[in-house]
Amino acid sequence: MFTPVVLAGGNGSRLWPLSRQAFPKQFLTLDGQGRGSMFQQALARLDGLDHALPIIVSNEQHRFVVAEQLRLAERSSGKVILEPMGRNTAPAIAMAALQASRDGSDPLLLILAADHHIPDEQAFRAAVASATIHADLGRLVTFGITPTHPETGFGYIQCGEPLGETGSAIAAFKEKPSAELAQEYLESGRYLWNSGMFMFRASRFLEELQRLRPDILDACRIARQHAQDDDYFLHIPAEQFALCDDESVDYAVMEHTDGGVVVPLDAGWNDLGSWAAILEVSEHDTDGNSFQGDVMSVDTRNSLVQSHHRLVTTVGVEGLVVIETKDAVLVAHKDRCQQVKQIVQRLQAEQREEFAAHPLVSRPWGHYDTVDKGERYQVKRITVLPGECLSLQLHYHRAEHWIVVSGTAKVVCGDKELILSENQSTYIPLGVKHSLSNPGKVPLELIEVQSGAYLGEDDIVRFEDRYGRIGS
């Protein structure tokens, strides 16, 4: 038996505008197969293997997205470790190893990314079985992907002497190569793509981390000692975790250990790191196109077009990526998709809303969708799940009107409490404590009209909150 560790803390900036800071690519359904998000597929891939409940490592701001996706997939997890900021894979795996061995046990850990595409799950499980043999011998296993073409976007692993029937010693890690060097790697047959998946015993990894990067392990141990632990989440404190170096497990351990082994994996793997990769794994029509949503095309070839909000049409184009969302549209050549990250960097530098979140924003109680906004007003459509409740809060800069579209609303406004049903409404004055809950059995939907001098989401002072979000 082993313990899966699912790393779900990335941002997926190259898949903007669908992937955003508040809802990154691992929580999206990207392959068009209707099998759930990439995170949910990573968990489903473990079915049929003998494993304990998975440990999940994610960003603090995504904690309720993780919980909701687990609920929707009807899956259980072990502890969900919440990082206050990203510090790369070495600290993330160290936190998971410390958590997994906290009770004195020493489990095998299978380290997986939450955003990989692996269609041949039988081959994946066979590779895990092979890795288990090596990990049981105290080796640190990484999975190397059998290359299918001279890819310049991945790092490579050079295979050394064979170790048993299914693995090789690691001769060297190679950075992303030029096209000419990638062709040489492919022709030699001695190189595999670096997948970023690993297997080792918790104590063995911590031992090597202590030897090679004791500063990272010390910082993680201190952060673990100061963490807030509840039944579901492990909240890592920002002050201590910020002292930990931002370092990948490859640089920190795997490139320097003498106990490394690479196990080949030939399962159609793709890290879905760009829109070109999405086009590659998607189903195509006879012209090589992959369309999703309300798309109409004429004389269009080898293109990826996704409509998530309105009709998108193309005429006489080839090799394009067109991604339409409610608040942004991306048009790029499929060979230049890696440069989407430059757009995201500009959006972040200019503090544009389109960098951080979609108009549809998930919350632990449901979600809201921004319908319209302008000078001194904003309109939202709010959905509250059955039995859920917004915090008791007030706003210093805005008043709100609530109109129930469907379902039943329980409203607290000052010292008053009332029940509203379809077509009924109420008014929340500026500066008055209020809360909203759904006491019914079906989702509550209402329209919220905000008016005031400042309408930002940070104009919220919480007094009571079942999700632990007390304060401003």
CB 115, CB 122: distance < 8 Å:
no
355 φψ region: left (φ > 0), alpha (ψ -120 to 50), beta (else): alpha
Per-residue pLDDT tens over the stretch 19-73: 999 899 999 988 666 678 999 999 999 999 999 999 999 999 898 889 888 988 8
* CA–CA dist 239, 467 (Å, integer): 22
Bridge partners, 233 (sequence order): 80
Helices of type H across 315-376: 340-349, 353-356
CB 447, CB 379: distance < 8 Å:
yes
* CA–CA dist 365, 303 (Å, integer): 38
Beta 312-315 vs 295-298: how paired, if at all? Answer: parallel
CB 240, CB 219: distance < 8 Å:
yes
* Choices 3.40.190.10, 3.40.470.10, 3.90.550.10, 3.90.79.10: CATH for 2-265: 3.90.550.10
**Sign of the C-alpha dihedral computed for residues 456, 461, 464 and 466 taken in this order:** positive
Identify the residue whose tokens are 């029937």. Answer: 165
Q: How far is CA 37 from CA 33, 92, 283, 352, 354, in A?
A: 10, 21, 17, 26, 21
User: Buried b / exposed e across 118-138, counting CB within 10 Å, b at 16+?
Assistant: beebebbbbbbebbbbbbeee
Q: Maximum CA pair distance of the chain? A: 76
For residue 472, the model assigns a pLDDT of 46
- What distance, in Å, lies between the first and last C-alpha atoms of the chain? 44
Q: What is the pLDDT along the chain (472 residues), one digit of tens a residue?
A: 999 999 998 888 899 999 999 899 999 988 666 678 999 999 999 999 999 999 999 999 898 889 888 988 888 888 899 999 999 999 999 999 999 999 899 999 999 999 999 999 999 999 999 999 999 999 999 999 999 999 888 899 999 999 988 899 999 999 999 999 999 999 999 999 999 999 999 999 999 999 999 999 999 999 999 999 887 899 999 999 999 999 999 999 999 999 999 999 999 999 888 999 999 989 999 999 999 999 999 999 999 999 999 999 999 999 999 999 999 999 999 999 989 999 999 999 999 989 988 888 888 899 999 999 999 999 999 999 999 999 999 999 999 999 999 999 999 999 999 999 999 999 999 999 999 999 999 999 999 999 999 998 889 999 988 887 765 4
For residue 470, the model assigns a pLDDT of 63
**CB-count burial class (<10 Å; 0-12, 13-18, 19+) for 114:** buried
Give the CATH number of domain 359-464.
Answer: 2.60.120.10
Tell me the domain boundaries of the chain.
2-265, 283-340, 359-464
Tell me the pTM: 0.87
List, in sequence order, every beta strand (DSSP E) within 336-456.
360-363, 366-374, 377-384, 392-394, 398-406, 409-413, 416-420, 425-428, 434-437, 444-452
For residue 32, the model assigns a pLDDT of 60
List, in sequence order, every beta strand (DSSP E) within 202-300.
228-229, 233-235, 260-265, 290-292, 295-298
Cis peptide before 443 (omega within 30 of 0): no
